[in-house]
Amino acid sequence: MTKPIVVTGTDTGIGKTIFSAALTQALAATYWKPVQSGLEEETDTQAVIRLTGCKTLPETYRLQVPASPHFSAEAEDVLIDTESLALPQVDGSLVVEGAGGLMVPLTRETLYVDLFRKWQAPIVLCARTGLGTINHSLLSIEALRTRGCNLLGIVFIGEEVADSERTIAEYAGVKKLGRLPLLQQITPETIRTAFAENFRLEDFCLQNGENA
Give the active site residues. 33
DSSP character for 147?
Answer: T
Q: Which residues pair with 140 in a beta bridge?
A: none
| Spatial distance between the Cα atoms of 121 and 73, rounded to a whole number of angstroms | 26
DSSP-assigned letters across all residues of 24-92: HHHHT-EEE-SEEE--SS--HHHHHHHHH---EEPPSEEESSSS-HHHHHHHTT----GGG-PPPP-SE
Q: Which residues are CB-contacts of 24 (< 8 A; sequence separation ≥ 6)?
A: 30, 31, 48, 52, 54, 95
Q: Phi and psi at residue 198, in whole multiples of 5°?
A: -120, -5
Q: Which of 204, 164, 199, 162 is nearest to 180 (CA)?
A: 199
